[in-house]
Amino acid sequence: MNANLKQMKELGLAGALGAVFGLYLFVELVQTDSIWLRDVLAGVAIGGSIGFFLNGSTPLRDSAYLGFSRAASLGTLAGAVGGAVGLLVGELILGTFQGGLVGRAVSWSVLGLGIGTSQGVASKSGAKLTFGVIGGTIGGFVGGFLFEAIRDLFGNRYDLGQGLGAVVLGAGLGICLALVEQVLRRAWIEVKSGRQEGRTYLIDHKSCTLGLDEHVEIGLFGDLSVARKHAMIESTATGYYLKNESVSGETRVNGGPIQGPKLLVNGDMIELGKTRLVFRSR
């Protein structure tokens, strides 16, 4: 499967699962007559759950449990805060519009914006924060519009509309987050072989280390011939440079070992141990 489509599929599914689980928590656990408190707690439950699933699914799949605990906890916290504020403000906006397709879309765009910030907070990345805000806003707008249209189609059946709305919101957020990143990213790595084949990693820090260590920015797991901190990509004013950091292993570009900092160009094949990667930039 194309790496871009795979990323959209994975984030869309994670967002949908997170939204449904958050809605379940809210319905089962929250009992209050206060409309405002209900909105806040709904935002906490749905936003926190989406933040957990969006940010924790990738490291969990890679069996990077330390990375999972860090990303999931930060993502949950940021998503819960963003969801609470976003839903509360969104409901005020919805009241101003007196409901309707546009009102729901605009109100949910604020909710999506709040939840989308969890991407940047969890990864401590300014670029992902920007992508999350933009993607979350777009995903929330699309999700809100479709939710209202579906609810009208099913004759205002609140239970059905609520469930479908959660799926649409979560999936829309995940897919739009992936799309915005793919459109706006400047440099990234595609994994071409190994356990993580098909994965993409954004180069979104001044320096990104590649290796088996769960603390590195680009974790390459499943290949024991890769060192814990095998190589590093540095972003400079003149381009992206690859350096070998491993004492016992080589870092190769287009088949040849590098001896010092190597300027990367779009399409360069990088090999660390038995793992092959492709550098992409625009």
- pLDDT tens by residue, the chain, 282 residues: 688 898 999 999 999 999 999 989 998 888 888 888 988 999 999 999 999 999 998 888 887 888 899 999 999 999 999 999 988 888 888 888 887 888 888 888 988 898 888 888 888 888 889 999 999 999 889 888 887 787 777 665 556 666 777 888 899 899 999 999 999 999 999 999 888 888 899 999 999 999 999 889 999 988 899 999 999 999 999 999 999 999 888 999 999 999 899 999 999 999 999 999 999 999
Closest by CA to 92, choosing from 80, 105, 107, is: 107
Closest by CA to 128, choosing from 65, 60, 217, 212, is: 217
Please give the Cα distance from 155 to 77 (Å, whole number): 36
- Residue ranges of the domains in the chain? 3-184, 187-281
Fold of 187-281: Tumour Suppressor Smad4 (2.60.200)
Please give the Cα distance from 59 to 75 (Å, whole number): 12
Question: What pTM was estimated for this model as a whole?
Answer: 0.88
CB 279 within 8 A of CB 272: no
pLDDT at 155: 66
**Residue 182 region, left (φ>0) first, then alpha (ψ -120 to 50), else beta?**
alpha
Please give the Cα distance from 207 to 27 (Å, whole number): 44
| Per-residue pLDDT reduced to its tens digit, 157-168 | 556 666 777 888
pLDDT at 166: 80
Q: What per-residue string of b and e applies to 119-136 under the rule 16 or more CB within 10 Å gives b? A: bbbbbebebbbbbbbbbb
